[in-house]
Chains A and B, each alone.
Chain A
Amino acid sequence: MINLLLFPIIIPFFFAMILLFFKEQVVIQRVLTLIGLALSLVASFWLIATVKTEGIQTVTLGSWPAPFGITMVSDMFSALLVTTTIIITFFVVIYSFSSIGVERERFFYYPAILFMITGINGAFTTGDIFNMFVFFEVLLIASYLLIVLGGEKRQLRESIKYILVNVISSALFVVTVAYLYSIIGTLNMADISVKIAEINQPGIISVIAILFLIVFGIKGAIFPLYFWLPNSYAAPPIPILALFGALLTKVGVYAITRTYTLFFVHDIGFTHQFLMILSLLTIIAGCIGALAYFDLKQIIIYNIIIAVGVILFGVAQMNTSGLEGAVYYLIHDMLIKGALFVLIGIIIYATGTSNLREMGGLIKTHATLGWTYLIAAFGLAGIPPLSGFIGKVLITKGAFEADHVIGSIIILASSLVVLLSVIRIFIYAFWGPQKNELPVRDQRTYRQMMFPAIMLVLITVAYGVGAEWLMPYMTDAANVLADPSIYINAVLKE
């Protein structure tokens, strides 16, 4: 069916609108949200199967011919990301049933999540640069609601900064699109790529490439534009933090990947070198932050920044291994960050604090939580056969093939820092004597919270163990990134 690739965008949107009518009926909201996400999940798996058998799917809205209408394009890369997004949201929504509290649920929590998913899936699927701006705004405005929902003192203080940074980056996005339009005269991404190839990327296009890097770098938190992220993400409750950490920065990473593999491929020596240096600095900055804090949330938040750096380093190599590794690592990182945030949420729920120094001895009372967390931590660091391994191996391989030895060494060293930072949580929170009296918690709520966490960790384990089986999909995704003409031919076909 030709409209299939719109379903993961339309279904959450449709359900979000229905939910607006059930403000007070929390049970109806929960059920409808789950149904909506389950339907989207089915649609997105179907989409993956279709893209696998029939190649890139495109829909040009309103049947206008390709460069003139808005094109929605689903290649394997975006289909995989859309599916990952919906999987994570599904489990985080289940987690929030028992953790977010009914006051927030009554004030449009679920519609905001579904609208945010609409925006994220739209941004992953669109084939039009201005449409991408619009979908960015859809997801950002929903995220403004989510980050401030509840109106605690700290949330209000940090969300003002979050909104301000994003408003500025949105204005920069508009400016960049304006510059691009004045030179290229089109907004369709495939057509832009063709036109840039025709004029062979003069200096002004490289300037626009750097502007795009700044715009998407603010969204995706690369060095030196990550300054807003640690405090803002620490403000909202855990389920919202899990969604943000797993999904929002990755949209920025996706946008950088897409523009740098589709548009700006003619002067790699400048633009991609720049991207590579920034990504390495991002990794270093993230590593410093991840080691500096004794706060659970901050440690994992800085791990987001490290992962963004690793993925972009893979993209900057522009060879098959590097791109394949970047795709692999991107999806791994979305899944594992979702799992880790949910897990530290449960640790915070069990101990009543997010300060590592006040914890200890949890393994005696919460053994399942401890071992699940340990698996997730090993997965994050990339210990084979868990999910972080293949991605990093491929990225490092790509870097060695491109003779970026120092970069590869930094990537490998960063894995050690990542492992140290998350194992430190394990050692402080689970080993040793019990420091403080644990607050009395409802066992049923705890089990309800554990279910989505265990499911997410199991999915990451399956993702790592089933690497062989997933490889054809990743290869398809990387092929489109490595060779823009596949994308262009699919969109601009007669």
Chain B
Amino acid sequence: MEFILAILVGILFTAAVYLILSRSLLKVILGTGLLSHGAHLLILTMGGLGGNAAPVVLDGVTDFADPLPQALILTAIVISFGVTAVMLVMAYRMYAVHQTDNMNELRGNDEHD
């Protein structure tokens, strides 16, 4: 099971890298979304997929899934959610000001352009 998830995470990372290297800003942001999905799945996988029950204390259940990676993922998810929201709004503002979402046209500095 871990092996399949490792392959899946690899595919997510590949797609993320491909999208981040593209020219359109929106694709880049989609790429960062995929990147964080991959990272979160990786935490879950690397924590081990053993354990039959959800990590909730119930009578008679002893074989829990590891609760720590789940807490880490929850933290990482809200952080990447906040950052993605910031990034989307900034991309929107940048489109309004610069009239382009092509990363190639966003080069240079004010002294030279």
Q: Which residues of A contact B (CB under 8 A)?
A: 130, 133-134, 137, 140-141, 144, 148, 151, 153-154, 156-157, 159-161, 163-164, 167-168, 170-171, 174-175, 177-179, 181-182, 187, 231, 234, 295, 355
Contacting pair B46 A234 (CB below 8 A):
no
Asked if B30 is at the interface of the complex by the 8 Å CB criterion, the answer is no
Whether the Cβ atoms of A178 and B46 lie closer than 8 Å is yes
**Is B8 an interface residue when CB atoms closer than 8 A count as contact?**
no
Residues of chain B lying within 8 A (CB to CB) of residue A167: 32, 35-36, 80, 83, 87
Consensus secondary structure, chain B interface:
helix
Q: Which of A141, A160, A174, A181 contacts B90 (CB 8 A)?
A: A160
B72 within 8 A of A: yes
**Least Cβ–Cβ distance between A405 and chain B, in angstroms:** 39
Asked whether A130 and B86 contact (CB < 8 A) given A154-B109, A171-B36, A234-B109, the answer is no
Besides the contacts A133-B76, A156-B97, A181-B46, what 15 more A-B pairs have beta carbons closer than 8 Å?
Answer: A130-B75, A137-B79, A141-B86, A151-B93, A153-B110, A156-B98, A157-B98, A163-B86, A164-B87, A167-B36, A171-B36, A174-B39, A175-B38, A178-B43, A178-B69
Closest to B75 in A: A134
CB of B48 within 8 Å of the partner chain = yes
Q: Does B15 contact A (CB under 8 A)?
A: no
- Residue interface bits B80-113, CB-to-A below 8 A is 1, else 0: 1011001100110110011000000010011100
**18 A-B pairs, CB-CB below 8 angstroms?**
A141-B86, A151-B93, A153-B98, A156-B93, A156-B97, A160-B25, A160-B90, A160-B94, A163-B83, A164-B87, A167-B80, A168-B32, A174-B40, A174-B42, A178-B45, A178-B69, A179-B46, A181-B47
Query: Given contacts A154-B110, A168-B20, are A174 and B91 in contact (CB under 8 A)?
Result: no
Main secondary structure of the interface of A (DSSP, over half): helix
The A-contacting residues of B in range 29-58, CB under 8 angstroms, are 32, 35-36, 38-40, 42-43, 45-48
Indicate which residue in A168, A170, A181 contacts B43 across the interface (CB closer than 8 Å): A181
B3 CB, nearest partner CB in chain A, Å:
14
- Please give me the residue from chain A that is nearest to B96 by CB atom: A156
Cβ contacts under 8 Å, A140 to chain B:
83
8 shortest A-B CB distances, which residue pairs? A182-B46, A178-B46, A174-B39, A178-B43, A156-B94, A171-B39, A171-B35, A137-B79
* Chain B nearest Cβ from A241, distance in angstroms: 14
Q: Which residue of A lies closest to B34 (CB)?
A: A171
Q: Report the separation of the CA atoms of residues A148 and B98 in the bound assembly, to the nearest whole angstrom.
A: 14
Tell me if B32 and A171 are in contact (CB < 8 A): yes
A64 to B46, CA, bound (A): 25
What are the residues of chain B within 8 A of A171 when measuring CB–CB?
A: 32, 35-36, 38-39, 80
Query: Which residue of B is nearest A148, CB measured?
Result: B90
Docked Cα-Cα span, A13 to B100, in Å, equals 38
B79 touches A134 (CB 8 A): yes
Report the Cα distance A170→B78, complex, angstroms.
13
Given A156-B97, A164-B28, A295-B111, do A175 and B47 touch, yes or no (CB 8 Å)?
no
- Give the residues in chain B near A159, CB-CB below 8 Å: 90
Most chain B CB within a 10 A radius of its CB, from A148, A179, A182: A182
- With contacts A141-B86, A167-B83 taken as known, whether A182 is within 8 angstroms of B47 at the C-beta atoms is yes
* B residues in contact (CB < 8 Å) with A: 20, 25, 28, 32, 35-36, 38-40, 42-43, 45-48, 68-69, 72, 75-76, 79-80, 82-83, 86-87, 90-91, 93-94, 97-98, 106, 109-111
Are A178 and B48 also in contact (CB < 8 A) when A130-B72, A154-B110, A156-B98 are? no
**Complex CA distance for A141 and B106, rounded to whole angstroms:** 22
Compute how far the CA of A171 lies from the CA of B31 in the bound complex, rounded to whole angstroms.
12
Contacts of A355 in B (CB 8 A): 111
Determine the chain A residues whose CB is within 8 A of the CB of B43 once the complex forms: 174, 177-178, 181
Q: A168-B20, A171-B39 are in contact. Are A141 and B83 (CB under 8 A)?
A: yes
**Closest chain A CB from B67 CB (angstroms):** 12
| A164 cross-chain contacts in B, Cβ below 8 A | 20, 28, 32, 87
CA distance A175 to B10 in the complex (A): 12
A225, chain B: closest CB distance, angstroms: 15
Residues of chain A within 8 A (CB-CB) of B40 are 174
- CA of A175 to CA of B43, assembled, Å: 7
Cβ–Cβ contact A178 & B83, under 8 A: no
Query: For the complex, what is the distance from the CA of A175 to the CA of B72, rounded to whole Å?
Result: 11
Q: How far apart sit A187 and B48, CA to CA, in the bound complex (Å)? A: 15
Q: Which residues of B contact A133 (CB under 8 A)?
A: 76
CB closest residue in chain A, given B110: A154
A135 to chain B, nearest CB (A): 11
Q: For the complex, what is the distance from the CA of A198 to the CA of B39, rounded to whole Å?
A: 28
Determine the distance from Cα of A257 to Cα of B80 in the docked complex, in whole angstroms. Answer: 26
Task: Report the minimal beta-carbon distance from A352 to chain B, rounded to whole angstroms.
Answer: 14
Determine how close the nearest CB of chain B comes to the CB of A300; give it in whole angstroms: 16
Q: In whole angstroms, what is the CA distance A178 to B83 when docked?
A: 20
Complex CA–CA separation, A171 to B16 (angstroms): 11
CA distance A179 to B9 in the complex (A): 13
